[in-house]
Structure formats: C-alpha cells, structure tokens
Amino acid sequence: MAYSEQQWAEAKQKCHLNNEDIALAKRLGLNPRSLIKNIPSKSEPWKAPVKDWLHEIDAKRQKKSAQKQRRKEKSGGSNPA
C-alpha cells in the first residue's frame, strides 16, 4: 500500500524527523503510522525517540548484512548441495 505524502508529512512533524530520516524509514520498509505509534509517551521513559529508533534499526540491519557477507566470503561463496 502506498502512503500519501500528507501521511509522511504528518509523521515527519509529529516525530520531529527530517527528510533524511523519512527516506531512511521508507528504505527500512516502515510506514508513517508505525512511526507515529512508536512515539514514546511520558509513561515510557525507556523508549528511545523515533529518530534514534530508526537509526538503531538501520545499524542492526547493516551489522547483520555485514555478518552474512563475511560468512558468505568465508565459505568460499559457493553453497555445496
């Protein structure tokens, strides 16, 4: 489902994000509603702000991808059947 620019603009405003953060959220496959739903409330002091949350997700995915690439190179790149 494609989300309208109005929904992205609303998420950008409510979550205090910039254009780069919105692009990152789109690359990660998130939608504007999920960003808004993850805004920490006063009773959730352990929750990171949405901007930090996005960057944590991206860092974890990059780390996982790098590990997978290293394993692939270590095994010789071919998968014995």
Write out the DSSP string of 11-31: HHHHHT--HHHHHHHHHTT--
| pLDDT value for 3 | 87
Rounded to two decimals, the pTM is 0.80
Task: Give CA separation, 21 vs 4, 13, 16, 45, 77, in Å.
Answer: 17, 12, 9, 22, 34
Output the pLDDT for position 18.
97
For the stretch 8-29, pLDDT in tens is 999 999 999 999 999 999 999 9
Nearest alpha carbon to residue 57 among 76, 44, 38, 40: 38
